[in-house]
């Protein structure tokens, strides 16, 4: 199975799912499961073969146009296997949600198409093909998002993604101009270290930022993730956003940096070893972390909250990649995995809740743990990983990133990184408390029940993997070392069970077992000690008053109001900026319309006179 064949087959499966979907909505959705599992397994085989040093030629191209070429690189495999896995897991949700869409068959088809697009992006070594598939993913997503709640979200998704694609395209043209070929590696190599390299780097960064939802190109992401159909949010956050990380690696790692930082800032900087471009990206990444965290704290909609957490995690990835070095890069790559798994699991959990309740707003939910305990566990594990608490995968990656930041003495960035980490404690536990704990709401009491097995299955698998990445990271880190070797970066020093950072050694397994013991003890205490008594919603009183109505007494609503008040004036700066930009364009358009389009011929005559006069005036 060559890459080309895989992509073509995926596209065909997409069409099959469309026609199946026309015939029966659910069958069509089942096809998406089959297709994405098929793709995942194929990529898995491919990865296995490549790791074993197989000689099978995956890159052969037979059917596609001549210029389409593919190269199975470690980097591509790394991303592909992660993303196809997320796709495969999420696809199990499709049959349960497909009923609600306006155009279900279209949803199924586009779901598979975006998968095909992702494969193309990761495996091609031709810049035009890269752009082609990049756009393909954008467009597939574009038509899925409005099937959810909001049309506006789709428009802003399109706007930012296209800005990114066009930046990429322009960068491609520059590389093509210098290298004389559309080959990805030749192109990147040819501009490395030159002036054009700077432009390419900036353009690729714009592309990466827009895709990754990093500050200041992040405004689309919460809207799109928050409003997309429930099964598509995890795909967006866990898989498609990672395209940005892929481009970021091209821009930050594969491209030799330009511009010594010291020549730009003189001796005022704390990062003498970094280049200006990398430092700028790192600073923006740090701002992204802070911004995402602050915004996530304020959200009421759990999906939006997770979306902002995705923004913030994108910031971590950018920081890690721009610092580079073996620790930084390894941290970045590991964080990509950790966040993909965690956010997919978290979004799936919330999707499962929303499926039965019809809302994902924290103020309208509560006490779901009673009916959906497994979903609760999944969500718990996911957010622990997101907050970077051992023994989950998020801890390992954050540890590596911290190591890299501290080791390089980047104080400003370190502050942001730590702030983000603490901030994530603040926000990830709010949905936990609001959605799952607390009082069970009467309006959802009857509807809530344990999700069907096929919805639980992917959630459980994801949770197990999150734990696995936290406890035994070394196998994956070994693979990451291969990737880094291909990228020309020194390998991270890892033992059988240890990770060697610059400031010390981490024993993930040991940490995990300590935590495990702690949890075990806590569980035993929980079992042994006297159980708390369950009371009904009415069977309680507050501040000396009896409660007479079954209304929600929510302690997680406006929980951080004091903190929010500190910055609520500034939250809309970027949105306002884009809004203003849009208004400027609209005003300009209106103005031109007003001045040029009347029902009198004099306007045309006037301009004719002016223009002829202008020409002849020049002659005088």
Partner 1 sequence: MKNFLAFVAVLVLGFLIITSLNNNEAFPNYGEADISERVSQAYIDRSATENPGDITFGETTDLESGPANIVTAIVADYRSFDTLGEVTVLFISSLGVALLLGGVNRKRIDLDFHPNFMLRVGSRALFGIILMTGVYVAIHGHLTPGGGFPGGAMIASSMLLLYLADDEFRVKIKGFKMLESVAGSLYVLIGLTGLLLISGGFFLENFLDNGVIGNLFSAGIVPIVYVLIGLKVGSEISGIIDNFLTEEAV
Partner 2 sequence: MLQYAAIAMLMLGLYGLLTQRNVIKIIVSLNIFEIGLNLFIISVGYVDDGIAPILTSNFNNNGLIFVDPLPSALVLTAIVIGVGTTALALALANNIYQKYGTFEIDEMGEE
Partner 3 sequence: MSAILLIAVPLLTAFVSILFKKYSHYMLIAVSFLSVFALGYMDLETITIGGFDAPFGIVLILDNYSLIGLYLVNILFFIVAVLNCKEYKKLSSILLVSLAGLNGLLLTGDLFNLFVFLEVAGIAAYLITTTNKKPLATFNYLVQGTLGSSLYLLGLILLYAMFGTLNMSDMAREIGTSGYGAGVTALPFLLMFIGFGVEAKLLPFNSWAKGILASSNSLSGPMIASVYAAAISLVFGRLLTNVFVIEGTLLTIVMGILVFSLVAGEAMAFSSKKVKEILLYSSVSQAALVVLVFMTGFAGWAVYLIIGNATAKLVLFLVTNIAAKQLGDDEVDTFKGLFTNNKVVGLAFTAVTLSVVGLPFFFGFVTKMNILENMFLSGAYVWPALILITSFIEGIYFIRLLLNLWHTDGDSPEVKFDFVLKYVVVVIAVLTMIFGVYTKPVQDSADDLVVYSITEGGNF
Binding site for partner 2 (CB under 8 A): 599-602, 605-606, 608-609
Residue 616 binds partner 1, judged by CB under 8 A = yes
CA 517 from chain centre, in angstroms, equals 33
Say how far apart CA 42 and CA 31 lie, in whole Å. 16
268 binds, among partner 2, partner 3, partner 1, none (CB under 5 to 8 A by kind): none
- A 10 A CB-CB count for 429 gives 17
Backbone dihedral angles phi then psi of residue 218, each to the nearest 5 degrees = -100, -10
Token code pair at residue 526: 């929980």
Say how far apart CA 288 and CA 286 lie, in whole Å. 5
- A 10 A CB-CB count for 87 gives 27
Q: Which is nearer to partner 3, 160 or 376 (CB)?
A: 160
Say how far apart CA 377 and CA 430 lie, in whole Å. 15
Residue 527 binds partner 3, judged by CB under 8 A = no
Q: Which is nearer to partner 1, 475 or 596 (CB)?
A: 596
Considering only residues 129 through 148, tell me which ones interact with partner 3, judged by CB under 8 A: 132, 135-136, 139, 142, 146
**Which residue shows structure tokens 């400027």?**
584
Parallel, antiparallel, or unpaired for β 504-506 and 541-542?
Answer: unpaired
Specify the length of the chain in residues. Answer: 620
Residue 411 binds partner 1, judged by CB under 8 A = no
First CA to last CA across the chain, in angstroms? 72
613 binds, among partner 2, partner 3, partner 1, none (CB under 5 to 8 A by kind): partner 1
Report the nearest approach of partner 2 to the CB of residue 615 (Å).
15
Residue 615 binds partner 3, judged by CB under 8 A = yes
**Interaction mask 52-81, partner 3, x per CB under 8 A:** -------------x----------------
Q: Which of 9, 50, 159, 412 binds partner 3 (CB under 8 A)?
A: 159
**Which residue shows structure tokens 């074993």?**
52
Secondary structure letter of residue 568 according to DSSP: T
620 binds, among partner 1, partner 2, partner 3, none (CB under 5 to 8 A by kind): partner 1
Residue 170 binds partner 3, judged by CB under 8 A = yes
CB contact at 8 A, 481 and 330: yes
Q: Which of 546, 548, 599, 620 binds partner 3 (CB under 8 A)?
A: 599
Say how far apart CA 331 and CA 620 lie, in whole Å. 67
Report the nearest approach of partner 2 to the CB of residue 599 (Å).
7
Residue 166 binds partner 3, judged by CB under 8 A = yes
- A 10 A CB-CB count for 523 gives 10
Report the nearest approach of partner 1 to the CB of residue 604 (Å).
14
Q: Which is nearer to partner 2, 457 or 612 (CB)?
A: 612
Say how far apart CA 584 and CA 589 lie, in whole Å. 8
**Interaction mask 532-571, partner 3, x per CB under 8 A:** ----------------------------------------
Considering only residues 519 through 538, tell me which ones interact with partner 1, judged by CB under 8 A: none
Q: Which is nearer to partner 1, 266 or 618 (CB)?
A: 618
What is the b/e burial string over 1-19, where b = at least 16 CB atoms within 10 angstroms of the residue's CB?
Answer: ebbbbbbebbbebbebbbe
Say how far apart CA 123 and CA 134 lie, in whole Å. 12
Give me the DSSP letters along 554-595: -SSTTTTHHHHHHHTTTTTHHHHHHHHHHHHHHHHHHHHHHH
Residue 195 binds partner 3, judged by CB under 8 A = no
Q: What are the distances in angstroms from CA 362 to CA 99, 221, 344, 540?
A: 24, 20, 19, 22
Say how far apart CA 243 and CA 229 lie, in whole Å. 20
Q: Which of 180, 495, 589, 613 binds partner 1 (CB under 8 A)?
A: 613
Secondary structure letter of residue 213 according to DSSP: T
Q: Which is nearer to partner 3, 163 or 256 (CB)?
A: 163
4 binds, among partner 2, partner 1, partner 3, none (CB under 5 to 8 A by kind): none
Task: List residues binding partner 3 (CB under 8 A).
Answer: 65, 102-103, 128, 132, 135-136, 139, 142, 146, 151, 154-155, 158-159, 162-163, 166, 169-170, 173, 176-177, 585-590, 592-593, 596-601, 603-605, 607-608, 611-612, 614-616, 618-619
Task: List residues binding partner 1 (CB under 8 A).
Answer: 609, 612-613, 616-617, 619-620
């Amino acid at each position: 199975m060559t890459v080309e064949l895989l992509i073509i087959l995926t596209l065909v499966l997409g069409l099959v799912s469309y026609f199946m979907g026309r015939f029966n909505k659910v069958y069509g959705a089942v096809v998406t499961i089959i297709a994405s599992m098929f793709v995942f397994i194929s990529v898995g085989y491919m990865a296995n073969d490549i790791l074993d040093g197989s000689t099978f030629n995956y890159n052969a191209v037979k059917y596609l146009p001549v210029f389409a070429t593919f190269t199975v690189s470690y980097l591509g495999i790394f991303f592909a296997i992660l993303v196809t896995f997320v796709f495969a897991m999420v696809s199990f949700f499709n049959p349960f949600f497909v009923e609600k869409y306006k155009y279900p068959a279209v949803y199924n088809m586009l779901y598979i198409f975006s998968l095909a697009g992702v494969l193309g992006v990761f495996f091609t070594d031709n810049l035009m093909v890269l752009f082609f598939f990049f756009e393909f993913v954008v467009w597939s997503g574009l038509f899925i998002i409005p099937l959810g709640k909001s049309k506006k979200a789709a428009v802003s998704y399109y706007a930012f993604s296209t800005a990114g694609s066009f930046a990429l395209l322009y960068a491609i043209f520059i590389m093509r101009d210098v290298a004389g070929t559309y080959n990805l590696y030749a192109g990147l190599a040819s501009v490395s270290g030159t002036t054009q390299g700077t432009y390419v780097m900036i353009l690729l960064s714009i592309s990466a930022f827009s895709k990754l939802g990093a500050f200041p190109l992040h405004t689309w992401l919460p809207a799109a993730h928050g409003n997309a159909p429930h099964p598509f949010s995890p795909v967006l956050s866990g898989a498609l956003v990672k395209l940005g990380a892929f481009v970021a690696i091209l821009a930050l790692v594969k491209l030799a940096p330009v511009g010594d930082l010291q020549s730009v800032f003189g001796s005022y900087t704390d990062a003498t070893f970094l280049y200006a471009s990398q430092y700028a990206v790192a600073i923006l990444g740090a701002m992204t972390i802070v911004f995402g965290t602050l915004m996530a704290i304020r959200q009421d909609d759990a999906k939006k909250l997770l979306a902002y957490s995705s923004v913030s995690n994108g910031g971590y990835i950018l920081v890690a990649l721009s610092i580079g070095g073996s620790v930084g890069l390894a941290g970045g790559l590991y964080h990509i995995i950790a966040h993909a798994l965690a956010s997919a699991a978290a979004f799936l959990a919330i999707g499962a809740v929303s499926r039965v309740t019809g809302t994902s707003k924290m103020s309208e939910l509560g006490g779901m743990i009673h009916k959906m305990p497994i979903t609760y566990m999944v969500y718990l594990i996911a957010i622990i990983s997101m907050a970077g608490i051992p023994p989950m995968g998020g801890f390992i990656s954050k540890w590596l990133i911290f190591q890299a930041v501290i080791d390089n003495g980047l104080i400003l960035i370190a502050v942001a990184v730590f702030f983000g980490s603490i901030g994530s404690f603040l926000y990830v536990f709010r949905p936990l408390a609001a959605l799952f704990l607390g009082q069970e709401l009467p309006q959802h009491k009857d509807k809530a029940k344990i999700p069907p097995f096929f919805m639980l299955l992917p959630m459980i698998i994801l949770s197990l993997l999150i734990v696995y990445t936290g406890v035994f990271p070394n196998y994956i880190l070994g693979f990451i070392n291969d990737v880094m070797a291909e990228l020309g970066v020194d390998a991270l020093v890892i033992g059988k069970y240890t990770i060697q950072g610059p400031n010390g050694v981490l024993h993930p397994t040991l940490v995990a077992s300590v935590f495990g013991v702690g949890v075990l003890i806590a569980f035993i205490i929980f079992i042994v000690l006297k159980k708390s008594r369950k009371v009904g919603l009415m069977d309680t009183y507050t501040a000396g008053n009896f409660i007479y109505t079954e209304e929600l007494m929510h302690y997680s609503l406006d929980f951080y109001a004091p903190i929010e008040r500190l910055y609520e004036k500034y939250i809309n700066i970027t949105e306002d900026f884009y809004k203003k930009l849009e208004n400027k364009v609209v005003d300009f358009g209106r103005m031109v319309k007003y001045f040029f389009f009347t029902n009198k011929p004099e306007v045309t005559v006037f301009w004719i006179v002016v223009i002829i006069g202008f020409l002849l005036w020049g002659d005088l």
